[in-house]
Structure 1
Amino acid sequence: MTDRHLTVADLAEPPPDEPRPDERTPPNDHRAEQAVLGSMLFDPRGAVEITGVIDGHHFYYPRHETIYEALRKRVHSLKPIERYLLANDLRDAGTLARCGGTVYLEELYQLGIAVPTDAALHFADEVRRTAARRRLVEAGTRIMALGYTPSDTPPAELHHTALDTLERDLILQPVPGVDEEVGDRFLDFTTLYTTPPQPIPWLIAPILAEGRITLLYAPGKAGKSLVAMEAACALATGGLALTQRTPHHPVHVLYVDQEQTPEDWRDRTQAMGYTVQDAAELTEHLHVSNLQAWAPLDTVAGGAQLLAEVRRTGARVVIIDTVSKVVAGEENSNDTHQALYRHTLAPLKREGLAVLLLDHTGKDLEKGARGGSAKTDNIDIAYQLTPRSHDKLTLAPTHVRFRDDATSRTITLVRSTIPRLTHVEDTWSDSTSPAAEFRPTRFMEKISRLVEATPGLSKSEVLDLVTGRAEYKRKALATLIAEGYIEDVRGQHNKATLGELKPYREASDPMASDRPDGDQDGTP
């Protein structure tokens, strides 16, 4: 085979027995249809782009439409495109013989070798344009039949019928990746003004809500993926995570992960306490696309591919980790993020999904997420995640599009590993923390003796000087303050320090036995 690219003249003529039995063959381009299918078989990556340009109904020849739909199904299911696998799909559907068998698939593949992706996209446009001409002929044929048929219908009604035919066949034709009708979603101001305001449909307040897009950005290795994975697992199993206080029903989560390996998922979810007994529920509700070759989400094809997976899995939450790895355009270009919103995020938002985007900060942390300003222009909530210590991090809201008291505060999360890896909101009296399950009397006495011997220490200084599990120390200090053993004292420059009101001793505490077996440091 020569090095030159395939031209239309090089392609096979259509078989004489395949055209549809019309008196005059409608417009069609057998050569272009072959070029499109051959290119999809030879170049799976280009196949993703082609599915964003044409649909099966654009093909004139029935076997080409059948082959294309089988290919498109593989593309949208993230399955490999191989000739023998496609043949198996067609054989299982009972359509392989009528599509020309494996011989014709091999012929298409050989043709596709000489069709680069840019040429295939040109052929795809030609297939779509030919289909438009064909619809024009079909509409004209129906209008001609309307004119030739004797009728008592008034002329004005005939004209309306003809116009309706044109509108249905020419104007309202579906475009790949575009909704066919939008009129039923125009804003109804009567309903808007008469319906009482509804609460924000939080899934994890105030981080993730239905119909909202959240951006979580942080420096590398700060733990944003770990936080997102914990949230995803909890949502999929109906558990608690981060700031949640009440259980909920499991929801389907689609996690587009371009960072973690399968081994990372195993190790991290096991650290979170999930076992083989949870595997079935996780598999059913948590759909992790792990390092798969998605079409860029700032393209029509990528947006259509993701939306198809959302609908196939029934996902109500989409997590993208990370944004910079799923776009083809320049990361610092506003055009890239406008295209990402237009092709992917807006359709997901329109479907009422909760979307969580993970991204990196730039070199200057004060300037927020890396990239153009359009990155935050198109989202509803942006949180900057900042590690404060080995076991504490904060989520600070830097951009909020809607009013809600919950989004106005900085959230402090405490990372705990006892009895499992969790991130729990630090409220100094958190009832969901593992430390809240018992009375940490040993730590209470340690802290009381320290403050008694060294008055004027701050809370952070006390927690640093006392050794042991961080969550137990915080619980102990909060309990001592709440029960009047220690008080907050405002000193010079309004500095908060701790003062002893009365000593605490574990031996005198009637509830001292209400603690787990073994040492409170977590050692059996």
Structure 2
Amino acid sequence: MTHTDDRPPIVDEPPPWDHPEPEPPAPDPGPGRRDRTPPHDAGFEALVIGAALNNPDTIDTCGRIITAADFHLPQHETFWRALTHLHGLGQPTTPTAVVAHLLDTKQLHNSHDALTLHELATRAHDAGADLQVDYYAHRVDSLARRRRAIAAHERNLQRLWSPGPDTDIDQALNDTAAAMTEARDNLAGLPTPTTWSPVDLASVLTGDYLDPPPTMLMRTDGVFLLYDGAVHTISGESESGKTWLTLIAALQLIADGQRVVFVDFEDRADRVIGRLMALGATPDQIRDHFDYIRPDRPLDDDGRAQLGPAIADARLVILDGVTEAMTMHGYDLNSNADSALFQGLLPRWIADHGPAVVLIDHVVKDKERQDRFALGAQHKLAGIDGVAYIVKMLQPFARGKRGLARVEVAKDRPGHVREHTHGKTIAEFTLDATRSDVVLIAHLMPPGAESGRAGDTFEPTVLMEKISRYVQLNPGMSKKAIEGAMNGKATTIRLALELLVSRQYVGVKTGNRGAIQHFHNKPYYHDGQDPQETDESTSDDPSDGTLRGPLDHPETEAS
């Protein structure tokens, strides 16, 4: 930017040249109304963007004051993200260049946006906006901080207006007071720094700051599995129960008077609501605290303007159908770059507004990689700052039956969840439809509560030794062949085989046509005594040494 010695000082009054008049404040509709217009100034936002289109040096100036999230109008936020992206790459930031970038990334859906960019550049040039663009940027920042303070205050008020049966009122009051103090200090202090400013380490060095523990999706023993403001994934094969698991979290929240938003890219409202009611949600709870969204086009400025108010006071946002969502937006599932763009476009953008975000995704087809990867690019896992869960079905969920699934942790960045795991397993959950097809009984329990893998619960140790010996003598056998060679109940045989695989006594690998074959790794003895007392694992399979476990539960494989 060109600076001159006679540049007028920045004062509290607007500069003398003309600029678009700020929009008048909306009339006060009364306390508690969700449709009240937040404070903003579209005219100042427009001048900041127009100045950046005309003079790329102003992007550096404004970048020290504001971020894209500080723009109230979704269209302006989109424009600023494009400008900073191009400027960071050293590319032109003219209106034509920005339009081309928005077209390439499928963020420009009509010719009006292209005309708007040219109009913003012209109006900013006529107003000489680049001479005092920092004044406008400070105004945008100040209004953004006011909106954040109001949003935090309204979230805490909602907790006090509609406390659930498990709400700690004293804690809610303390949180409200702390939020108001933080808002006061924020509004009175300097503009919010960008993420490129040095981090204040005082609280870290004094030990006052700790990663907050999870606060949602509670097991029967009181352990929580989802973090506020973080992005999580729950992945699994079709009909493994992953959507049911997210709805358990939703039910716990709406029963406590807190809002949940369900963004559905692959199902329909009647099925989702039907499942939620089958778990025990009442029509009033759903009507008052559950929002269902079924988008049929990519997220654009109009969509962001409608989605923003819906997530403003939500505790949890569920995105069902990651594959469908990325495809809708024109992103390549196997591209790390496209995965990063999608994360920033939707889940990360939502989480930055406060709610926890859960992505429901499919696992890869390769059985040896299902323990860690969802379908598509590896960045889908790298971009998770909460927990990545893998759901594996142990007993199928069906009408008139009692289903059982295992929940494993593939990644836990904050680390609070993993301390409660047994191996990789964090929970087991059941859906009992034996009493009624209309009302299901769901339980999310600690590991071993149902499958017998922990504590003093039953394990078929004698049968495990027989299967271990059989696999050693007959390498490469399928699950069906092993079941046929053993005497006893099929469910017990399957449990014994699953325990051998999970504890790496038996290894599995994919053979021809995707068949799952089992091989001996090391002997299992039901009394725990190994006659040879060897620590070395042996194998009758002379292949390339790719045997490993644990992998997916054998029950889920086709016989």
State the TM-score, normalizing by the size of structure 2. 0.47
Q: Which has the larger radius of gyration?
A: 1
Report the structure, 1 or 2, having the larger helix content.
1
TM-score by length of 1: 0.49
